[in-house]
Chain A
Amino acid sequence: MTAVAAHHDHHDDHHHAPHGLKRWLFSTNHKDIGTLYLWFSFAMFMVGGFMALVIRAELMYPGMQVVDPEFFNQMTTVHGLIMVFGAVMPATVGLANWMIPLMIGAPDMALPRMNNWSFWILPFAFTILIGAVLMSAFGDGNPSAPNFGWTFYAPLSTKYGPASTDLFILSVHMMGISSIMGAINVIVTVLNMRAPGMTMMKMPLFVWTWLITAFLLVAVMPVLAGAVTMMLTDRHFGTSFFDAAGGGDPVLFQHIFWFFGHPEVYIMILPSFGIVSAIIPTFARKHLFGYASMVYATASIALLSFVVWAHHMFTVGMPLAGTLFFMYMTMLISVPTGVKVFNWVATMWRGSLTFELPMKWALAFVVLFTCGGLSGLMLALTPVDFQYHDTYFVVAHFHYVLVSGAIFSIFAAAYYWLPKWSGVMPNTFLGELHFWNSLLSVNLLFFPMHFVGLAGMPRRYADYALQFADYNWWISVGAFWFGISQLLFVAVCVLCAMKKGKKAEAAPWEGAEGLEWTVPSPAPFHTFDTPPVIK
């Protein structure tokens, strides 16, 4: 709060922003911290993407050509961890930092110093994790980096985990603390810092979805922390939470992990729902259809997400009654998800549509996310899930919802708000190239995974039987195409950062509504020091 008090008197003034390294290291400004989060997550996206390409290079042909299966496992593990905790989550936190105060008419986040910490923990957490990989890569695989999958099932990660597992545990603890602090900040900001007249049911949907996400984070990140703490004591302090030999149970680990893990997947997608719900009305020039039902659908998805976790573990051998319960609940959760999709379609319906870049990404999101949701519905049917589980079909499912879902929506958000962040319009030519290449390649990359999955190719396989060969080749081609296409986005962002491009007006998208468009572009260092008036 002190930051707000001290700068009370200078409105939209660039020049009083601190300069140099210190500006970023000690920043308590929500826009600067948002920017840090966004650049950081983009860097992690590239690192994690590089690891994915190592995986795809190995899988292009049957046989072991490029890496050792042990290193292959390290790649799948760290790729997953980096993409979940380093790319998608920090990107949405960055968006929250930038946009929530602007959207609710607040001068900054409620707890600016905590905001600084929650960001600056992350680079250290990921240095530790990536350091483990580098040690392994340059030490001929010795010591091994974490190699037990992003789900780190015991006892593979406890009794049989490599020495670097302890680094992994430390790193996960740090990521957890960072997310919890970020989430607390969002909740306090949304509850207390709204401008007068900004009632809860007037908040943009992005604020709503993030508020609910933040509650999910506060509820389940500590559970993840608990799980890794138990791993640590199992490994070094003689407990046996997950070790059958000492009376523990490895399946218990999975229950705890997925109690965190399923809400976690919604943590990654709910902010995307908010983004898309901001963009589609803008370019349809029409209000969001069913605002209230969107809020309720989001809330019910969040609540249901606590009672579906065991759909990730149908094959561990649960009693019939338990299996049936989790099957029904999982089927149920697709109803509110469907409601959201229908609402977006109805928002477009009889609008006056234009297809600027953010809208293109948002529409791609709706279509491809729906594909992922529909395969989710297939996975919910337990008897068939026995066939799908732990095959490439599941890999296809969650990449449709996470890559062409969460990440596409983050691109949509970037193209939508970059004018506000940087003051220049993103380069349309590069942006179009980026969009079309990504759209085509992402489908070449992930659609055939359904086929090899159904045909029976298990996931996390370093080598495979010959009948999977054809599709794996195409998948790898798609992967390299998709990977290279993202370099176009680097160019778009760098151009904006260098202020090269058409100057953006305060409200560059004609259909857009919301407080963020009432401040100049680029948004000045301080905004809404005097609360805006809300009609």
Chain B
Amino acid sequence: MQSTLFRRVTAALTLLLVSGVSVASDWTERSNVNLRPGVTDISQDVFGLHVAILWVVSVIGLAVFGLIMYSAVAHRRSKRPQAATFHEHVGVEIAWTVIPFIILIFMAVPATRVLIAMDDSAESELTVKVTGYRWNWSYEYLTYQDDNDVGVFFFSNLKTPAEQYHTPVLKNGLFPYGTAADRFGVEPEEKDHNYMLAVDKPLILPAGVKVRFLVTADDVIHSFFMPDFAIKKDAIPGFVNEAWTVVPEDATGIYYGQCAELCGKNHAFMPIEVHVVAKEEFDTWIAEEKEKAASGPDLTPFANLEAAMALGKEKYNAACVLCHGAEGQGGIGLPFAGTELMNDSARIQENIDVLIKGRNAMPSFAAQLTPRDIAAVITYQRNAFGNETGDLIQPADVAK
């Protein structure tokens, strides 16, 4: 136990050293001390305001601390046995009320200007509806230029595999993620550079186009936070909020964001990944996606159990792992390892129904997973974690 803990600590320390140099540059070129300037005009205005106010408070702060230090040294008793007796001075009292007030007005003016600019979401060319769920995001492209029914919709889940964050140091401790025993003492996997940030299917946006986000939520309040665009908008169930951005044409690339309003257990596990691509590239992509959406679900049968298992594992790790655990050990959701439902081939239909319709705290996955995904996940559940039913479920079984 001791030595494992020690090894873990040293490993993590090494990782820290590495992360300090190489990883910091991954989330765009940025400082990890100061606010990030971001890439849009608005975010740079915001950064400008931040620098200005930081100067203002630093100067005021240093002036005050300087006076205190000076007084503490120069007015100590050994130097001044007798204290002065003044305890009022109308002049200075007025001065230190009025001067800060004027400084504040000087700060309020540019802040108001930026705020008004941020408020103007008119003339957008692309509208994306962003919905927060416990615990992932979905994106729906509503309108793009003249097309007012794009209808492209998908979910976006954390890609970091559980093996990378599930690293308990206590065997039967205070609730290590899922259960500790199965991962305790296992060498932690090296963490990806974009650990806790990358997703399975990112949001794709065109550069140089004004994009309007309609932000809402399915269950509790989430918050759509994209620091590089200076956007943070709460996603509130039952209500829509607006935000917008234009990423300049020369700023294509990958941007990350996170959920910024406590939404329950896996609040830290629902990042946002945005790929900003050139407009032409976006046009091709959206056309393809649209076609896919129009042609209905892909019902191509799996060639064999292995093919289904591979897709199933991927989908399981994206959609199910947070509640049911990487080893099917359960958590918020029920366990799968060795359970009756998973091992009784007569109950396959029930298994399918639960995924499609939901049951109690388990939500319906009909919108999030395609029939093919669902077939794969169920196949995986019934043939992993020590379950060995050999059941191969085909997309057609699910789609009916």
Q: Which residues of A are at the interface with B, using a C-beta cutoff of 8 A? A: 54, 61-71, 73, 137, 140-141, 147-149, 153, 155-156, 159-160, 244-245, 249-251, 284-291, 293, 315-317, 320, 323-324, 327-328, 331-332, 334-335, 338-339, 341-342, 345-355, 363, 366-367, 370-371, 374-375, 377-378, 381-384, 386-387, 389-391, 451-452, 454-456, 458, 460-471, 473
Contacts of B16 in A (CB 8 A): 61, 469-470, 473
Give the distance to chain A from B94, nearest Cβ to Cβ, in Å.
10
Q: Roughly how many angstroms separate A250 CA and B261 CA in the complex, as a whole number?
A: 13
Q: Mark B211-240, 1 if CB is under 8 A from A, else 0.
A: 000000001110101010011111011110
Shortest 3 CB-CB contacts between residues of A and residues of B:
A244-B238, A68-B175, A374-B57
Chain B: how many interface residues by the 8 Å CB criterion?
115
Contacts of A350 in B (CB 8 A): 71, 75, 80, 83-84, 86
28 interchain pairs, CB-CB under 8 A? A61-B16, A62-B191, A64-B167, A66-B169, A67-B174, A68-B177, A250-B221, A286-B85, A286-B87, A289-B87, A317-B241, A320-B116, A338-B100, A342-B64, A342-B92, A348-B71, A350-B84, A352-B82, A366-B68, A374-B57, A381-B111, A386-B46, A386-B232, A455-B30, A456-B36, A456-B225, A462-B268, A469-B19
Q: Mark B237-274, 1 if CB is under 8 A from A, else 0.
A: 11101100000000000001011111111111101000
Contacts of A377 in B (CB 8 A): 53, 56-57
Contacts of A467 in B (CB 8 A): 19, 23-24, 26-27, 32
Q: Roughly how many angstroms separate A201 CA and B203 CA in the complex, as a whole number?
A: 63
Contact, CB under 8 Å: A463 / B23:
no
Give the distance to chain B from A208, nearest Cβ to Cβ, in Å.
16
Q: Considering the complex, which residues of chain B in the window 93-133 have a beta carbon less than 8 Å from any beta carbon of chain A?
A: 93, 96-97, 100-101, 104, 107-108, 111-112, 114-116, 118-119
Interface of A is mostly: helix
Contact, CB under 8 Å: A352 / B77:
yes
B194 at the interface (CB under 8 A from A): yes
B352 at the interface (CB under 8 A from A): no
Give the distance to chain B from A318, nearest Cβ to Cβ, in Å.
10
Q: A458-B260, A467-B32 are in contact. Are A334 and B49 (CB under 8 A)?
A: no
Contact, CB under 8 Å: B221 / A387:
no
Q: Roughly how many angstroms separate A320 CA and B8 CA in the complex, as a whole number?
A: 50
Contacts of A64 in B (CB 8 A): 165-168, 176-177
Q: Roughly how many angstroms separate A247 CA and B319 CA in the complex, as a whole number?
A: 31
Q: Roughly how many angstroms separate A316 CA and B238 CA in the complex, as a whole number?
A: 13
Which residue of chain B lies nearest to A366 when distances are taken between CB atoms in the complex?
A: B68
Contact, CB under 8 Å: B267 / A387:
no
Contact, CB under 8 Å: B119 / A320:
yes
Other A-B contacts than A338-B100, A390-B261, 12 sampled, CB-CB below 8 A, are: A62-B165, A64-B177, A67-B173, A69-B269, A156-B221, A284-B75, A316-B234, A335-B97, A352-B77, A390-B225, A463-B268, A466-B191
Give the distance to chain A from B113, nearest Cβ to Cβ, in Å.
9
Q: Roughly how many angstroms separate A491 CA and B20 CA in the complex, as a whole number?
A: 40
Contacts of B72 in A (CB 8 A): 348, 353, 355, 363
B296 at the interface (CB under 8 A from A): no
Identify which of B23, B53, B221 contacts A378 (C-beta below 8 A): B53
Q: A387-B50, A466-B195 are in contact. Are A354 and B238 (CB under 8 A)?
A: no
Contacts of A320 in B (CB 8 A): 115-116, 119
Q: Mark B162-186, 1 if CB is under 8 A from A, else 0.
A: 0011111110011111100000000
Q: A65-B168, A288-B87, A375-B57 are in contact. Are A153 and B262 (CB under 8 A)?
A: yes
Contacts of A346 in B (CB 8 A): 89, 92
Contacts of B92 in A (CB 8 A): 342, 346
Which residue of chain B lies nearest to A153 when distances are taken between CB atoms in the complex?
A: B221
Task: Please indicate which of the listed interface residues B76, B85, B119, B258 has the most CB atoms of chain A within 10 Å of its own CB.
Answer: B258
Give the distance to chain B from A376, nearest Cβ to Cβ, in Å.
9
Contact, CB under 8 Å: B15 / A383:
no
Give the distance to chain B from A291, nearest Cβ to Cβ, in Å.
7
Contacts of B197 in A (CB 8 A): 465
B146 at the interface (CB under 8 A from A): no
Contacts of A386 in B (CB 8 A): 46, 118, 230-232
B145 at the interface (CB under 8 A from A): no
Contacts of B303 in A (CB 8 A): none
Task: Please indicate which of the listed interface residues B31, B57, B164 has the most CB atoms of chain A within 10 Å of its own CB.
Answer: B57
B61 at the interface (CB under 8 A from A): yes
B292 at the interface (CB under 8 A from A): no
Contacts of A387 in B (CB 8 A): 35, 46, 50, 227, 230, 232
Contact, CB under 8 Å: B80 / A352:
yes
Contacts of B6 in A (CB 8 A): none
Q: Roughly how many angstroms separate A508 CA and B188 CA in the complex, as a whole number?
A: 59
Q: Roughly how many angstroms separate A411 CA and B268 CA in the complex, as a whole number?
A: 35
Identify which of B30, B101, B165 contacts A335 (C-beta below 8 A): B101
Contacts of B242 in A (CB 8 A): 317
Q: Roughly how many angstroms separate A64 CA and B8 CA in the complex, as a whole number?
A: 12
Identify which of A61, A160, A354 contacts B264 (C-beta below 8 A): A160
Contacts of A160 in B (CB 8 A): 219-220, 264
Contact, CB under 8 Å: A63 / B191:
yes
B193 at the interface (CB under 8 A from A): yes
Contact, CB under 8 Å: B260 / A390:
yes
Q: Roughly how many angstroms separate A383 CA and B100 CA in the complex, as a whole number?
A: 20
Give the distance to chain A from B381, nearest Cβ to Cβ, in Å.
22
Contact, CB under 8 Å: B71 / A349:
yes
Contact, CB under 8 Å: A156 / B177:
no
Give the distance to chain A from B238, nearest Cβ to Cβ, in Å.
3
B287 at the interface (CB under 8 A from A): no
Identify which of B30, B178, B260, B332 contacts A391 (C-beta below 8 A): B260
Contacts of B168 in A (CB 8 A): 64-66
Contact, CB under 8 Å: A331 / B108:
yes
Contact, CB under 8 Å: A335 / B232:
no
Q: Roughly how many angstroms separate A378 CA and B51 CA in the complex, as a whole number?
A: 10
Give the distance to chain B from A357, nearest Cβ to Cβ, in Å.
15
Which residue of chain B lies nearest to A144 when distances are taken between CB atoms in the complex?
A: B265
Contact, CB under 8 Å: B12 / A141:
no
Contacts of B115 in A (CB 8 A): 320, 323-324, 327, 382-383
Give the distance to chain B from A254, nearest Cβ to Cβ, in Å.
9
B67 at the interface (CB under 8 A from A): yes
Identify which of A61, A68, A285, A289 contacts B176 (C-beta below 8 A): A68
